[in-house]
Amino acid sequence: MERENPATAESLDPIEGDTEADVEDALALADEVYPAWSERRLEERRQLLNDAAEVLRENAEEYAELMAREMGKPIAGGRSEVEKCAWVCEHYAEYAETYLADEVLQSAPEAKAFVSSEPLGPVLAVMPWNYPFWQVFRFAAPNLVAGNVGLLKHASNVPGCAQAIEEVFLEAGLPEGAFQSLLVGSDAIEDVVTDKRIRGVTLTGSESAGRAVAETAGKELKPSVLELGGSDPFVVLDDADVETAAEVGMQARTLNSGQSCIAAKRFIVHDAVYDEFVSAFVDEMAAQDIGDPTDDDTDIGPQAREDLMEDLHEQVTETLDAGATLETGGEPLDREGYFYPPTVVTDVPRDSTMATDEVFGPAAAVFRVESEDEAVELANDSTYGLGGSVWTEDLERGERVARRVESGCVFVNELTKSDPRIPFGGVKNSGYGRELSEHGMKEFLNEKTVWVQSAADQ
């Protein structure tokens, strides 16, 4: 599998991909290992997750450097990502017993009824490059501790990350086959999804990839979870703390060099604070340091591939051609690698590219609205519904507006984020199903109803 350092445009050593025979061997091993793994004491699986957290922390610098080389993540962000992966392992190690406990139901007086949460078997995860460790661990931790086994088809530009993740679990002491990486292209996935040994599939990625996987899984009557694109609204109301909203808004747009499905992308600002917000927001965006992702002082690294940078620039250009105003940025940087500066565009026509499409890079579209109702209407005027953020000093008002936003999650006075303690996922073209917390853990479990009654009571 060919690799390229997006900060230098230099080729990295290729990594040998898996053959059809390798994939068959992996499926056979997963099927073989699953019964014994699912029957191991929960306490043992919990301890192994804690051990995986230790492995992650011990090798955090190595993994952060690997992410920087393969997809350009700034080194500080890579370290934070590894720590978050350790956290999700520890979270499920701590709470698995509670999440998996039988749920007692109402029943006849002479009987008892409960729901037992039981694993399904091997589950396939199709994961993206932008958070190459976190996206995988938020799938792996709950599924492994629940007794499922995992197979990972990672993005083709981060095969080193895929190998490293498999090694984390092996070094932690999980049996060979409990978690495996399949180093294959996207063209091999349909056959894996349809294989009878695969019991479910989860995908984080593009809308087109999600539709293809969902169609295949649906034909096979297999459960699926899709976390797809987003065009998240960042709503700044007239009573917001504008300075804080501008600072956090910059972070929400530029995290991971802007390459995040839950990044704030459409900034919807009340007329009463519009000028103040735009001024502060542009200053925050323009102040970010762009450079070598291995440098601790770098805020913004390269875009992960040249074609992605070109697509981003095309979206900005089309929006400006439609009548928008450029406040800062707007041109690829003239240097080695695929660097695009933080960009702010105002006066954005509501039918233009940056208003309607997902913008996967550090470019923000800012809209002026006259009222709370108009802000909500514009926030919901999207085919996506992943996350959202609302800014107001009135917390009751914030909760009321949050309830009106059509998305899988909304944060009041905070940027949208995924957190092991709360469910994460979208609606509309952003997908379906949930990850994380108890809700996400149970997507690939059999919620079995058990009714127990003495024959004498018949």
Q: Are strands 343-346 and 363-369 parallel, antiparallel or unpaired?
A: parallel
Spatial separation of the C-alpha atoms in residues 416 and 177, rounded to whole Å: 35
Under the phi-then-psi rule, with left for phi > 0, alpha for psi from -120 to 50, and beta for the rest, what region is 336? beta
Residue 70 is a catalytic residue: no
Judge residue 186's burial from the number of C-beta atoms within 10 Å of its C-beta, 0-12 exposed, 13-18 middle, 19 or more buried. Answer: middle
Selection from 4, 1, 7, 3 nearest residue 336 by Cα: 7
Q: Provide the sign of the torsion angle of the four alpha carbons 169, 195, 429, 360, taken in this order.
A: positive
Residue 306 is a catalytic residue: no
Q: Are strands 445-453 and 111-119 parallel, antiparallel or unpaired?
A: antiparallel
Angle between helices 134-146 and 75-99 (to 10 degrees): 20
Selection from 225, 229, 228 nearest residue 202 by Cα: 225
Measured in residues, the chain has a length of 458
* Residue of 227, 327, 406, 435 marked active site: 227
Spatial separation of the C-alpha atoms in residues 133 and 138, rounded to whole Å: 9
Spatial separation of the C-alpha atoms in residues 321 and 252, rounded to whole Å: 26
**Pure H helices in 229-305:** 242-254, 274-286
* Residue of 261, 284, 358, 443 marked active site: 261
Strand ranges in 179-272 using DSSP code E only, listed in sequence order: 179-181, 200-204, 224-227, 232-236, 264-270
Spatial separation of the C-alpha atoms in residues 354 and 365, rounded to whole Å: 6
Spatial separation of the C-alpha atoms in residues 28 and 13, rounded to whole Å: 30
- Residues involved in catalysis: 227, 261
